[in-house]
């Protein structure tokens, strides 16, 4: 079982309004092919939406590829002729993408006025910091994991490589230079302070969040709707269903999950895995057949984000076998809001999100993952209180991880930085502290 997060002791009671409401112009830098239906894209999307809902004007500058989202002001770079396909994860081609992104950001800053730069990922923060200094605009860095840590996880960089040390120095400079840093987990906050030497007063946790009215339990759907969807996917009615939604990749634990399915199927044949995601469908489809579980796994490919709640509601349980110890894991909150008993590898992020109500397998241990999945699938044998787990996970998601709370935190960080900029333009790189944020947003334990 996971330990309680420090977030359990915090509940927002509201923001004291002592001045007129302000509307900020926010330039959000997204160094990715926004929008795609996974991970960090969902965070970018929902942060932009909540800020707009609160009355702020948000412009998102991003790569050429990606899906437009109604209601969002998205500005795209020029294409590069030798690489027009969609990119996921680390790639050498991202150097060209980011150079074009920097030029597009510069163009926007020259032509339009912005109060604050909200930069996602380290590439976005680097662009934001360079151009923010030029235009004297404060930069908020939305930190979603260690740059070098993720490059190692993705097998794009080795710690023994001659490029590792300079990349680590660059990452450290970016982390320390932002006026304020928002992290997706308190584990990431500790990482920034303890490993990278960041000023703890500039770093605060802004957890991934979820709309619990959209991601909702199976019993809230009209009679027959989910059964019809399940039948359309060809999933036998007599099988207990595990759902996964996210990227298909080694650092996400996809191979571990398929090997765990092999162990489960050797014990029982009334189990099925709905594996939803991309980009490695062909690779993992082949692996599933090589492991002898091809008839027990359904691959859907990409699931559009608006349809994700319904597909998740098909499950009896959910799984998140991510191996990375530093990346966020927003999918856990979606699972929780749907009321799915959730099994994850034991990482600091999984412990923080799931609290005492999730099931943790030993990190990287296929046999442990299979055992914990079986204990949730067959509670009559394991005596796990699955129904209570469902209720508590959904309640936890609704209480601690709502987007309204996240929006107030972001707005407070913006408000303080912009006020300082206006009051004291002669002081460079002056950060926003956690004490400042606490002053703007009241909490009760």
pTM (whole model) above 0.85: no
Hey, what are 150's tokens? 């993720």
Q: How many angstroms separate the Cα of 331 from the Cα of each of 188, 241, 352, 371?
A: 17, 17, 13, 21
The residue written with tokens 């309004």 in the block is 17
pLDDT value for 261: 98
d(CA 250, CA 256): 8
pLDDT value for 439: 53
pLDDT at 90 over 60: no
pLDDT at 200 over 90: yes
Q: How many angstroms separate the Cα of 411 from the Cα of each of 53, 182, 343?
A: 12, 12, 34
- Regarding predicted confidence, which is higher, 117 or 91? 117
pLDDT value for 11: 37
Give pLDDT tens digits for 366-417: 999 999 999 999 999 888 889 999 999 999 999 999 999 999 999 999 999 9
φ, ψ for residue 434 (rounded to 5)?
Answer: -65, -30
Confidence of residue 10 (pLDDT cuts 50, 70, 90): very low
**Mean of per-residue pLDDT scores for the chain:** 88
DSSP per-residue letters across 346-375: --HHHHHHHTTSSEEEPTT-HHHHHHHHHH
Strands 57-62 and 139-143: unpaired
pLDDT value for 436: 63
pLDDT at 195 over 70: yes
Least confident range of 125-139, 153-167, 247-261, 380-394? 153-167
Residue 86 burial by Cβ neighbours in a 10 Å radius (0-12, 13-18, 19+): middle
Give pLDDT tens digits for 174-184: 999 999 999 99
Give pLDDT tens digits for 145-190: 888 877 776 667 777 788 889 999 999 999 999 999 999 989 899 9
How much of the chain is in helix, strand and coil states, percent to nearest 5? 45, 15, 40
pLDDT value for 27: 98
- Regarding predicted confidence, which is higher, 436 or 130? 130
Give pLDDT tens digits for 317-376: 999 999 987 777 889 999 999 999 999 999 999 999 999 999 999 999 999 999 999 999
pLDDT value for 346: 96
pLDDT at 438 over 80: no
pLDDT value for 275: 98
Chain centre distance of CA 211:
14
φ, ψ for residue 28 (rounded to 5)?
Answer: -100, 115
pLDDT value for 376: 95
Chain centre distance of CA 314:
22
Give pLDDT tens digits for 17-33: 444 457 999 999 999 99
Give pLDDT tens digits for 206-227: 999 999 999 999 999 999 999 9
Give pLDDT tens digits for 301-314: 999 999 999 999 99
How many other CB atoms are there within 10 angstroms of residue 340's CB atom? 29
Confidence of residue 431 (pLDDT cuts 50, 70, 90): low
């Amino acid at each position: 079982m996971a330990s309680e997060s420090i977030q359990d002791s915090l509940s927002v009671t509201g923001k004291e309004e002592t001045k007129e409401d302000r509307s900020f112009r926010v330039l959000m830098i997204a160094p990715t092919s926004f929008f795609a239906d996974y991970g960090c894209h969902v965070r970018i999307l929902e942060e932009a939406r909540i800020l707009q809902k609160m009355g702020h004007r948000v412009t998102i500058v991003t790569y050429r590829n990606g899906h437009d989202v109604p209601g969002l002001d998205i500005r795209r770079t020029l294409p590069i002729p030798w690489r027009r396909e969609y990119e996921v994860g680390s790639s050498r081609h991202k150097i060209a993408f980011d150079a074009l992104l920097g030029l597009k950001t510069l163009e926007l800053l020259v032509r339009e006025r912005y109060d604050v730069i909200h930069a996602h990922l380290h590439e976005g923060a680097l662009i934001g910091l360079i151009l923010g200094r030029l235009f004297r605009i404060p930069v908020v860095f939305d930190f979603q994991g260690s740059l070098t840590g993720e490059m190692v996880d993705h097998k794009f960089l080795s710690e023994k490589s001659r490029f590792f040390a300079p990349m680590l120095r660059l990452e450290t400079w970016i982390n320390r230079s932002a006026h304020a840093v928002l992290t997706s987990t308190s584990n990431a906050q500790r990482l920034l302070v303890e490993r990278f030497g960041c000023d703890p007063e500039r770093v605060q946790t802004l957890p991934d969040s979820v709309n619990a009215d959209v991601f909702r339990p199976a019993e809230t759907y009209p009679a027959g709707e989910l059964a019809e969807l399940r039948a359309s996917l060809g999933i036998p009615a007599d099988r207990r269903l595990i759902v996964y939604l996210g990227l298909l990749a080694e650092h996400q634990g996809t191979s571990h999950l398929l090997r765990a399915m092999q162990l489960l199927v050797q014990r029982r044949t009334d189990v099925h895995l709905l594996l939803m995601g991309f980009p490695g469908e062909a690779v993992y489809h082949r692996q599933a057949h090589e492991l002898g579980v091809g008839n027990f796994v359904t691959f859907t490919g990409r699931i559009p984000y608006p349809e994700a709640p319904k597909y998740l509601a098909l499950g009896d349980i959910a799984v998140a076998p991510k191996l990375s110890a530093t990346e966020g894991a927003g999918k856990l909150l979606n699972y929780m809001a749907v009321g799915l008993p959730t099994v994850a590898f034991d990482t600091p992020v999984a412990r923080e999100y799931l609290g005492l109500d999730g099931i943790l397998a030993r990190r990287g241990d296929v046999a442990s993952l299979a055992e914990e999945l079986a204990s949730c699938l067959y509670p009559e044998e394991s005596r796990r209180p699955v129904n209570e787990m469902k209720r508590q996970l959904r309640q936890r998601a609704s209480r601690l991880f709502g987007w309204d709370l996240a929006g107030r935190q972001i707005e407070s960080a913006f408000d303080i930085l912009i006020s300082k900029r206006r009051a004291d333009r002669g002081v460079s790189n002056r950060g926003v502290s956690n004490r400042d944020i606490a002053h703007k947003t009241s909490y009760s334990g």
